[in-house]
Amino acid sequence: MRKQFASVVLLLFGFLLFGCSTAMDPGDDFNDSDNDDQTILLSDDVPQRKIIYTVDSSFDVENLGQSITTLRSLLNSDEWFDQEVIGSNQAIFRARIKTERLDEFADALNTQFQVRSFSKEGRDISLQYQDKTNRITSIELQITRLQELYESASLSDMIVINQQMSALEVELMRLQGELSVFDSLIDYSEVTIRLYSRYVVTRSPFINRFANGFLDGFSAVGSLLDWIGIAIANLLPFAIVFGPIGYGVYFVRKKYFLPRKLKKKESLKPKE
């Protein structure tokens, strides 16, 4: 009996030694460290790229009205302006352009007008989009499961199930609405276009700044004179109304009150 027990103990001890030697194998340790640094992603888990592009641009133009007409002609029939602000010397447009032809539209702008500034920015919303899609799928599965339970539920359980389904349907509609907004921003990029009317437009930025700065000085002088004229025009009605009244008061005071005051002072002087 003792020999059998000893043989069993020796056998177990041998297995333990073999297991420890295998665990301490340096080759296996190196491979495990490599595996720790690797992240395995399934193809189904990789989100499709969803990017929202925005463009902000400014241009100098000679003829503002003609340039606005040219800008409108660059849009396709399924593209539009979200905002239009047109002044005497500048105009601002916010257009929605198909993302698939955004670069083509930007090249057309740079060709038609003199570029003052141009920037293009992309915002990756792939993870947010995938998260909302997963939540929609999860809610739809929950609603399906609740519908199955509803068929065999008691009256009290039906009330609870209806409440849960109503809450899930509200959340589902909210998530679907957010995805629709994302889809719109992804499919149609937002492009801001500023057109500035300038007297001199050349390919040299220095000449543009120098010549337009000189001419803007004369424009500023004209604006100042215009402001002074408007101020005088605003004050003129007050002068017409209150001017005669003030003069009348002055005339009455000088004609009647001052002589009486002088006579009174002379009468109060002691006689010599």
Instruction: Kindly report, residue by residue over 52-106, the tens digit of the pLDDT.
Output: 999 999 999 989 999 999 999 999 999 999 999 999 889 999 999 999 999 999 9
Rounded to an integer, the average pLDDT of 47-54 is 88
> Of 83, 84, 87, nearest to 64 (Cα)?
87
pLDDT score of 248: 73
If you average pLDDT over every residue of the chain, what do you get? 77
Tell me if 143 sits within 8 A of 169, measured CB to CB. yes
Give, in order, the Cα–Cα distances in Å from 163 to each of 24, 138, 166: 58, 18, 5
pLDDT over 70 (residue 219): no
User: How would you class 193 by CB atoms within 10 Å of its CB: exposed for 0-12, middle for 13-18, buried for 19 or more?
Assistant: buried
pLDDT score of 187: 96
Tell me if 98 sits within 8 A of 79, measured CB to CB. yes
Residue 258: pLDDT band by 50, 70, 90 thresholds?
Answer: low
pLDDT score of 216: 59
pTM > 0.75: no
Instruction: Give 159 or 218, the one with higher predicted confidence.
Output: 159
Instruction: Give the Cα separation of 44 and 191 in Å (integer).
Output: 34
